[in-house]
Amino acid sequence: MVIYAILAATLLVILLQMLIYRWVSLRAVDYTAGFDARRASAGDTIHFSEQIRNQALIPIPWVRVESSFDLSLRFHGASDRQIKLGQQFHQFHYSVFSLARRTQITRRHDVVCSARGVFELDGAVMTTGDLFGLWRSTRHYPVKSEVIVYPRVEAYEDLPLPVSRSLGEMLVRRSFVDDPFMVSGVREYVPGDSLKLINWKATAHTGDVMVHRRDATADLQLMIYLNVEDMENMWNKVSHPEWIEQGIVIAASAAAFAVQHGMRVGFVTNAENATRTLMLTGDAHLEELLDRMARIRIEREIGFERLLEAEIRDQTKNTAMLILTAYVNEDLEAAFIALRRLGNFVHVVNLRELSEQEGKMVR
Protein backbone atom coordinates (compact mmCIF):
# COMPACT_ATOMS: atom_id res chain seq x y z
CA MET A 1 0.00 0.00 0.00
CA VAL A 2 2.84 2.37 0.79
CA ILE A 3 4.29 1.87 -2.68
CA TYR A 4 0.95 2.65 -4.28
CA ALA A 5 0.61 5.74 -2.15
CA ILE A 6 4.07 6.92 -3.16
CA LEU A 7 3.30 6.29 -6.83
CA ALA A 8 0.00 8.10 -6.53
CA ALA A 9 1.65 11.04 -4.81
CA THR A 10 4.39 11.12 -7.44
CA LEU A 11 1.86 11.07 -10.28
CA LEU A 12 -0.10 13.80 -8.53
CA VAL A 13 3.02 15.98 -8.21
CA ILE A 14 3.92 15.40 -11.86
CA LEU A 15 0.39 16.21 -12.96
CA LEU A 16 0.23 19.25 -10.69
CA GLN A 17 3.54 20.69 -11.93
CA MET A 18 2.44 20.08 -15.52
CA LEU A 19 -0.81 21.96 -14.92
CA ILE A 20 1.02 24.82 -13.20
CA TYR A 21 3.55 25.22 -16.00
CA ARG A 22 0.81 24.84 -18.58
CA TRP A 23 -1.07 27.69 -16.91
CA VAL A 24 1.98 29.90 -16.46
CA SER A 25 3.51 28.85 -19.79
CA LEU A 26 5.07 31.82 -21.59
CA ARG A 27 2.53 34.35 -20.39
CA ALA A 28 4.91 35.66 -17.78
CA VAL A 29 7.95 35.73 -20.07
CA ASP A 30 9.05 38.87 -21.94
CA TYR A 31 11.70 38.69 -24.66
CA THR A 32 13.49 41.38 -26.67
CA ALA A 33 16.44 41.10 -29.05
CA GLY A 34 18.31 43.17 -31.60
CA PHE A 35 21.57 44.32 -33.13
CA ASP A 36 23.51 47.06 -31.37
CA ALA A 37 24.35 48.81 -34.66
CA ARG A 38 22.17 50.06 -37.49
CA ARG A 39 25.07 50.21 -39.93
CA ALA A 40 28.36 48.38 -40.30
CA SER A 41 30.93 47.53 -42.96
CA ALA A 42 31.78 44.09 -44.28
CA GLY A 43 34.31 42.54 -41.91
CA ASP A 44 33.07 44.45 -38.84
CA THR A 45 32.03 42.71 -35.63
CA ILE A 46 28.74 43.85 -34.12
CA HIS A 47 26.70 42.51 -31.21
CA PHE A 48 23.37 40.73 -31.09
CA SER A 49 21.75 41.08 -27.67
CA GLU A 50 18.96 39.02 -26.13
CA GLN A 51 17.05 39.98 -23.00
CA ILE A 52 14.57 37.59 -21.39
CA ARG A 53 12.58 38.23 -18.22
CA ASN A 54 10.49 35.88 -16.07
CA GLN A 55 7.82 37.80 -14.16
CA ALA A 56 6.24 34.71 -12.62
CA LEU A 57 6.49 33.73 -8.95
CA ILE A 58 7.81 30.30 -9.91
CA PRO A 59 11.01 29.39 -11.80
CA ILE A 60 10.81 28.25 -15.40
CA PRO A 61 13.20 25.29 -15.84
CA TRP A 62 13.99 25.81 -19.51
CA VAL A 63 13.18 28.13 -22.38
CA ARG A 64 14.56 27.70 -25.89
CA VAL A 65 14.60 30.68 -28.27
CA GLU A 66 15.07 30.14 -32.01
CA SER A 67 15.85 32.95 -34.49
CA SER A 68 16.64 32.93 -38.21
CA PHE A 69 19.58 34.86 -39.70
CA ASP A 70 21.35 35.17 -43.02
CA LEU A 71 24.47 33.02 -43.30
CA SER A 72 26.53 36.18 -43.87
CA LEU A 73 26.10 36.98 -40.17
CA ARG A 74 28.53 34.64 -38.43
CA PHE A 75 28.10 34.07 -34.71
CA HIS A 76 31.59 34.05 -33.21
CA GLY A 77 32.24 31.12 -30.91
CA ALA A 78 28.81 29.52 -31.41
CA SER A 79 28.71 25.72 -31.06
CA ASP A 80 26.96 23.26 -33.35
CA ARG A 81 24.16 23.03 -30.78
CA GLN A 82 23.53 26.76 -31.13
CA ILE A 83 23.62 26.98 -34.94
CA LYS A 84 21.73 24.86 -37.48
CA LEU A 85 21.85 25.47 -41.22
CA GLY A 86 18.56 26.19 -42.97
CA GLN A 87 17.56 26.67 -46.57
CA GLN A 88 18.25 29.57 -48.96
CA PHE A 89 21.35 30.93 -47.22
CA HIS A 90 19.78 30.99 -43.76
CA GLN A 91 20.81 29.65 -40.38
CA PHE A 92 18.95 29.11 -37.13
CA HIS A 93 20.41 30.34 -33.86
CA TYR A 94 19.31 28.71 -30.61
CA SER A 95 19.58 30.07 -27.07
CA VAL A 96 18.54 28.07 -23.99
CA PHE A 97 17.73 29.81 -20.70
CA SER A 98 16.86 28.60 -17.20
CA LEU A 99 14.92 31.31 -15.39
CA ALA A 100 14.58 31.77 -11.66
CA ARG A 101 11.43 33.49 -10.46
CA ARG A 102 11.24 37.23 -11.16
CA THR A 103 14.62 37.34 -12.84
CA GLN A 104 16.11 38.81 -16.01
CA ILE A 105 18.97 37.51 -18.16
CA THR A 106 20.84 39.42 -20.86
CA ARG A 107 23.17 37.74 -23.35
CA ARG A 108 25.37 39.40 -25.94
CA HIS A 109 26.71 37.50 -28.95
CA ASP A 110 29.59 38.64 -31.18
CA VAL A 111 28.50 38.62 -34.83
CA VAL A 112 30.91 39.03 -37.75
CA CYS A 113 29.41 40.75 -40.82
CA SER A 114 31.10 38.68 -43.51
CA ALA A 115 29.35 40.27 -46.51
CA ARG A 116 27.44 43.36 -47.54
CA GLY A 117 23.65 43.44 -47.52
CA VAL A 118 20.57 44.32 -45.52
CA PHE A 119 19.95 41.76 -42.79
CA GLU A 120 16.78 41.55 -40.73
CA LEU A 121 15.67 39.77 -37.61
CA ASP A 122 11.95 39.22 -38.07
CA GLY A 123 10.64 37.47 -34.99
CA ALA A 124 11.72 34.68 -32.68
CA VAL A 125 10.10 31.39 -31.68
CA MET A 126 10.14 30.51 -27.98
CA THR A 127 9.49 27.03 -26.60
CA THR A 128 9.15 25.93 -22.98
CA GLY A 129 7.77 22.97 -21.05
CA ASP A 130 7.43 21.29 -17.68
CA LEU A 131 10.16 19.61 -15.65
CA PHE A 132 9.57 16.15 -17.09
CA GLY A 133 9.03 16.98 -20.75
CA LEU A 134 5.39 15.87 -20.71
CA TRP A 135 4.10 19.14 -22.12
CA ARG A 136 5.42 21.92 -24.31
CA SER A 137 4.27 25.37 -25.34
CA THR A 138 5.47 27.45 -28.29
CA ARG A 139 4.98 31.15 -28.93
CA HIS A 140 6.12 33.59 -31.63
CA TYR A 141 7.60 36.89 -30.44
CA PRO A 142 7.44 39.77 -32.98
CA VAL A 143 10.93 41.16 -32.36
CA LYS A 144 12.41 43.19 -35.21
CA SER A 145 15.90 44.51 -35.86
CA GLU A 146 17.91 45.42 -38.96
CA VAL A 147 21.54 46.04 -39.81
CA ILE A 148 22.77 47.48 -43.11
CA VAL A 149 26.24 46.19 -43.95
CA TYR A 150 28.16 48.39 -46.37
CA PRO A 151 30.58 46.85 -48.86
CA ARG A 152 34.20 46.78 -47.78
CA VAL A 153 36.20 49.88 -48.74
CA GLU A 154 39.78 49.12 -49.74
CA ALA A 155 42.59 51.64 -49.29
CA TYR A 156 44.02 53.09 -52.49
CA GLU A 157 47.27 51.14 -52.15
CA ASP A 158 45.38 47.86 -51.65
CA LEU A 159 43.28 48.14 -54.80
CA PRO A 160 44.14 45.99 -57.82
CA LEU A 161 46.75 47.72 -59.98
CA PRO A 162 44.44 48.41 -62.96
CA VAL A 163 41.99 50.18 -60.66
CA SER A 164 44.51 52.23 -58.66
CA ARG A 165 46.26 53.22 -61.88
CA SER A 166 43.04 54.50 -63.44
CA LEU A 167 42.14 56.47 -60.30
CA GLY A 168 45.61 58.02 -60.28
CA GLU A 169 45.26 59.01 -63.93
CA MET A 170 41.99 60.76 -63.14
CA LEU A 171 43.76 63.01 -60.66
CA VAL A 172 46.49 64.14 -63.01
CA ARG A 173 44.34 64.84 -66.05
CA ARG A 174 44.23 68.55 -66.74
CA SER A 175 40.45 68.60 -66.92
CA PHE A 176 40.15 67.11 -63.41
CA VAL A 177 41.78 69.70 -61.13
CA ASP A 178 40.90 71.17 -57.76
CA ASP A 179 39.62 74.73 -57.57
CA PRO A 180 42.49 76.69 -55.95
CA PHE A 181 40.06 79.30 -54.65
CA MET A 182 37.78 76.87 -52.78
CA VAL A 183 39.55 75.53 -49.66
CA SER A 184 37.15 73.69 -47.32
CA GLY A 185 39.48 72.39 -44.60
CA VAL A 186 42.23 69.80 -44.23
CA ARG A 187 42.46 66.03 -44.53
CA GLU A 188 45.12 63.33 -44.30
CA TYR A 189 47.56 62.92 -47.17
CA VAL A 190 46.81 60.02 -49.53
CA PRO A 191 49.02 58.69 -52.36
CA GLY A 192 48.63 60.84 -55.46
CA ASP A 193 48.26 64.19 -53.66
CA SER A 194 50.51 67.00 -54.83
CA LEU A 195 53.17 68.16 -52.37
CA LYS A 196 51.91 71.69 -53.04
CA LEU A 197 48.73 70.82 -51.14
CA ILE A 198 50.52 70.06 -47.84
CA ASN A 199 49.29 72.17 -44.92
CA TRP A 200 52.46 72.47 -42.86
CA LYS A 201 50.78 74.04 -39.82
CA ALA A 202 48.22 71.23 -39.55
CA THR A 203 50.96 68.66 -40.18
CA ALA A 204 53.04 70.01 -37.29
CA HIS A 205 50.01 70.14 -35.02
CA THR A 206 48.75 66.58 -35.65
CA GLY A 207 52.02 64.77 -36.36
CA ASP A 208 50.50 63.34 -39.57
CA VAL A 209 50.92 64.72 -43.07
CA MET A 210 47.84 66.86 -43.74
CA VAL A 211 46.82 68.54 -46.98
CA HIS A 212 44.33 71.23 -47.95
CA ARG A 213 40.88 69.89 -48.80
CA ARG A 214 39.69 71.72 -51.88
CA ASP A 215 36.21 71.75 -53.32
CA ALA A 216 35.83 70.36 -56.78
CA THR A 217 35.52 72.36 -59.96
CA ALA A 218 32.55 71.76 -62.24
CA ASP A 219 34.67 69.40 -64.37
CA LEU A 220 35.87 67.24 -61.48
CA GLN A 221 33.46 64.30 -61.53
CA LEU A 222 33.48 60.52 -61.61
CA MET A 223 30.68 58.19 -62.66
CA ILE A 224 30.91 54.52 -61.70
CA TYR A 225 29.05 51.96 -63.83
CA LEU A 226 28.52 48.41 -62.59
CA ASN A 227 27.33 45.62 -64.88
CA VAL A 228 25.71 42.80 -62.87
CA GLU A 229 25.66 40.49 -65.91
CA ASP A 230 28.50 37.99 -65.70
CA MET A 231 28.21 36.89 -69.33
CA GLU A 232 26.69 37.97 -72.62
CA ASN A 233 22.98 37.20 -73.18
CA MET A 234 22.54 36.32 -69.52
CA TRP A 235 19.14 35.77 -67.94
CA ASN A 236 18.37 37.56 -64.68
CA LYS A 237 20.40 35.14 -62.50
CA VAL A 238 24.21 35.26 -62.45
CA SER A 239 26.48 32.23 -62.39
CA HIS A 240 29.47 33.95 -60.76
CA PRO A 241 28.19 36.42 -58.13
CA GLU A 242 31.71 36.64 -56.66
CA TRP A 243 32.83 38.61 -59.74
CA ILE A 244 30.04 41.14 -59.23
CA GLU A 245 30.73 41.34 -55.50
CA GLN A 246 34.33 42.21 -56.32
CA GLY A 247 33.00 44.94 -58.59
CA ILE A 248 30.91 46.34 -55.74
CA VAL A 249 33.99 46.47 -53.49
CA ILE A 250 35.89 48.33 -56.23
CA ALA A 251 32.95 50.70 -56.77
CA ALA A 252 32.75 51.50 -53.05
CA SER A 253 36.52 52.01 -52.82
CA ALA A 254 36.60 54.25 -55.90
CA ALA A 255 33.71 56.34 -54.54
CA ALA A 256 35.52 56.80 -51.21
CA PHE A 257 38.73 57.75 -53.04
CA ALA A 258 36.88 60.32 -55.13
CA VAL A 259 35.20 61.92 -52.11
CA GLN A 260 38.56 62.07 -50.29
CA HIS A 261 39.89 64.13 -53.19
CA GLY A 262 36.86 66.43 -53.39
CA MET A 263 35.55 64.88 -56.58
CA ARG A 264 31.88 64.64 -57.35
CA VAL A 265 30.94 61.01 -57.79
CA GLY A 266 27.85 59.09 -58.90
CA PHE A 267 26.90 55.45 -59.31
CA VAL A 268 24.62 53.52 -61.64
CA THR A 269 24.04 49.83 -62.25
CA ASN A 270 21.68 47.62 -64.22
CA ALA A 271 20.70 45.62 -61.13
CA GLU A 272 17.03 45.00 -60.48
CA ASN A 273 16.46 47.24 -57.46
CA ALA A 274 19.05 49.95 -58.15
CA THR A 275 18.57 53.61 -58.99
CA ARG A 276 20.99 56.16 -60.38
CA THR A 277 22.65 58.49 -57.89
CA LEU A 278 23.53 62.05 -58.79
CA MET A 279 27.15 63.19 -58.95
CA LEU A 280 27.75 64.97 -55.64
CA THR A 281 30.54 64.98 -53.07
CA GLY A 282 30.92 64.93 -49.30
CA ASP A 283 30.75 62.33 -46.55
CA ALA A 284 26.94 62.30 -46.46
CA HIS A 285 26.83 61.55 -50.18
CA LEU A 286 29.40 58.77 -49.78
CA GLU A 287 27.25 57.17 -47.09
CA GLU A 288 24.26 57.32 -49.44
CA LEU A 289 26.30 55.59 -52.15
CA LEU A 290 27.44 52.86 -49.77
CA ASP A 291 23.85 52.37 -48.62
CA ARG A 292 22.72 51.91 -52.24
CA MET A 293 25.54 49.46 -52.88
CA ALA A 294 24.66 47.49 -49.75
CA ARG A 295 21.12 47.01 -51.07
CA ILE A 296 22.04 45.78 -54.54
CA ARG A 297 20.43 42.49 -55.54
CA ILE A 298 22.58 40.80 -58.17
CA GLU A 299 19.80 40.32 -60.69
CA ARG A 300 19.68 42.11 -64.03
CA GLU A 301 16.92 44.58 -64.80
CA ILE A 302 18.12 45.88 -68.18
CA GLY A 303 20.98 45.08 -70.53
CA PHE A 304 24.19 46.97 -69.79
CA GLU A 305 24.39 48.11 -73.42
CA ARG A 306 21.07 49.92 -73.03
CA LEU A 307 22.35 51.69 -69.93
CA LEU A 308 25.39 53.06 -71.79
CA GLU A 309 23.28 53.95 -74.84
CA ALA A 310 21.22 56.21 -72.57
CA GLU A 311 24.42 58.03 -71.54
CA ILE A 312 25.30 58.56 -75.20
CA ARG A 313 21.81 59.87 -76.02
CA ASP A 314 22.02 62.27 -73.08
CA GLN A 315 25.36 63.55 -74.44
CA THR A 316 27.19 62.97 -71.15
CA LYS A 317 30.51 64.83 -71.46
CA ASN A 318 33.70 65.66 -69.57
CA THR A 319 33.24 62.85 -67.07
CA ALA A 320 35.62 60.23 -65.76
CA MET A 321 33.85 56.90 -66.24
CA LEU A 322 34.91 53.79 -64.33
CA ILE A 323 33.15 50.83 -65.97
CA LEU A 324 33.09 47.54 -64.07
CA THR A 325 31.98 44.57 -66.17
CA ALA A 326 32.70 40.84 -66.32
CA TYR A 327 32.64 40.75 -70.13
CA VAL A 328 33.17 43.04 -73.12
CA ASN A 329 31.55 42.47 -76.52
CA GLU A 330 31.35 44.44 -79.76
CA ASP A 331 28.33 46.46 -78.66
CA LEU A 332 30.05 47.52 -75.45
CA GLU A 333 33.26 48.39 -77.31
CA ALA A 334 31.25 50.61 -79.65
CA ALA A 335 29.63 52.32 -76.67
CA PHE A 336 33.04 52.95 -75.06
CA ILE A 337 34.29 54.56 -78.27
CA ALA A 338 31.21 56.78 -78.53
CA LEU A 339 31.59 57.91 -74.92
CA ARG A 340 35.26 58.76 -75.45
CA ARG A 341 34.35 60.82 -78.52
CA LEU A 342 32.12 62.91 -76.28
CA GLY A 343 35.21 63.88 -74.28
CA ASN A 344 34.86 61.38 -71.44
CA PHE A 345 37.75 59.54 -69.81
CA VAL A 346 36.58 55.91 -69.99
CA HIS A 347 38.40 53.20 -68.06
CA VAL A 348 37.12 49.61 -68.22
CA VAL A 349 37.87 46.99 -65.55
CA ASN A 350 37.14 43.41 -66.62
CA LEU A 351 35.97 41.75 -63.41
CA ARG A 352 36.36 38.22 -64.69
CA GLU A 353 39.96 38.76 -65.80
CA LEU A 354 40.71 40.67 -62.61
CA SER A 355 39.45 37.85 -60.40
CA GLU A 356 41.50 35.30 -62.31
CA GLN A 357 44.64 37.46 -62.19
CA GLU A 358 44.37 38.55 -58.59
CA GLY A 359 43.21 35.14 -57.38
CA LYS A 360 41.03 36.66 -54.70
CA MET A 361 37.29 36.33 -54.91
CA VAL A 362 35.18 38.41 -52.58
CA ARG A 363 31.59 38.01 -51.62
Q: Do the domains at 26-150 and 156-177+217-358 have one common CATH topology?
A: no
pLDDT of residue 169: 82
In order of 55, 315, 346, 352, the CA distances from 357 in angstroms are 61, 35, 22, 9
The predicted model gives 8-24 an average pLDDT of 58
CA–CA separation, 312 and 214 (whole Å)? 30
pLDDT in tens, 245-264: 999 999 999 999 999 988 89
Lowest-pLDDT choice from 54-63, 123-132, 339-348: 123-132
pLDDT of residue 283: 93
pLDDT of residue 141: 86
Q: What is the mean pLDDT of the chain?
A: 83
Lowest-pLDDT choice from 168-172, 243-247, 291-295: 168-172
Q: How confident is the model at residue 131 (pLDDT cuts 50, 70, 90)?
A: low
Highest mean pLDDT among 7-21, 136-150, 164-178: 136-150
Q: Is 210 helix (H, G, I), strand (E, B) or coil?
A: strand
Encode burial over 44-72: b for 16+ CB neighbours within 10 A, e otherwise.
Answer: bebebebebebebeeebbebebebebbeb
Encode burial over 325-338: b for 16+ CB neighbours within 10 A, e otherwise.
Answer: bbbbeeebeebbee
Q: Is the pLDDT of residue 307 over 70?
A: yes
pLDDT of residue 331: 93
The predicted model gives 51-71 an average pLDDT of 89
Portion of the chain with pLDDT greater than 90, in percent: 46
Burial (CB < 10 A; 0-12, 13-18, 19+), residue 288, is middle
pLDDT in tens, 203-224: 888 888 877 766 544 456 899 9
pLDDT of residue 246: 95
Higher-confidence position of 167 and 184? 167
Higher-confidence position of 21 and 169? 169
pTM: 0.78
In order of 101, 184, 245, 355, the CA distances from 105 in angstroms are 11, 50, 39, 47
DSSP E strands in 130-199: the ranges are: 136-150, 178-188
pLDDT of residue 356: 82
pLDDT of residue 360: 47
Domain ranges of the chain: 26-150, 156-177+217-358
Higher-confidence position of 177 and 245? 245
User: Do 236 and 272 contact (CB within 8 A), yes or no?
Assistant: yes
Which CATH number applies to 26-150?
2.60.40.1510
Q: How does DSSP assign 231-252, residue by residue?
A: STT--SB-S-HHHHHHHHHHHH
Lowest-pLDDT choice from 210-224, 275-289, 309-323: 210-224
The predicted model gives 45-69 an average pLDDT of 90
Q: Is the pLDDT of residue 181 over 80?
A: no
The predicted model gives 224-229 an average pLDDT of 96
Q: Is the pLDDT of residue 277 over 60?
A: yes
156-177+217-358 CATH fold: Rossmann fold (3.40.50)
Higher-confidence position of 225 and 360? 225
Note the Cα 114 to chain centre separation in Å: 8
Q: Is the pLDDT of residue 350 over 70?
A: yes
pLDDT of residue 25: 66
Phi, psi of 229 (to 5 degrees): -80, 130
Higher-confidence position of 8 and 207? 207
The predicted model gives 295-314 an average pLDDT of 92
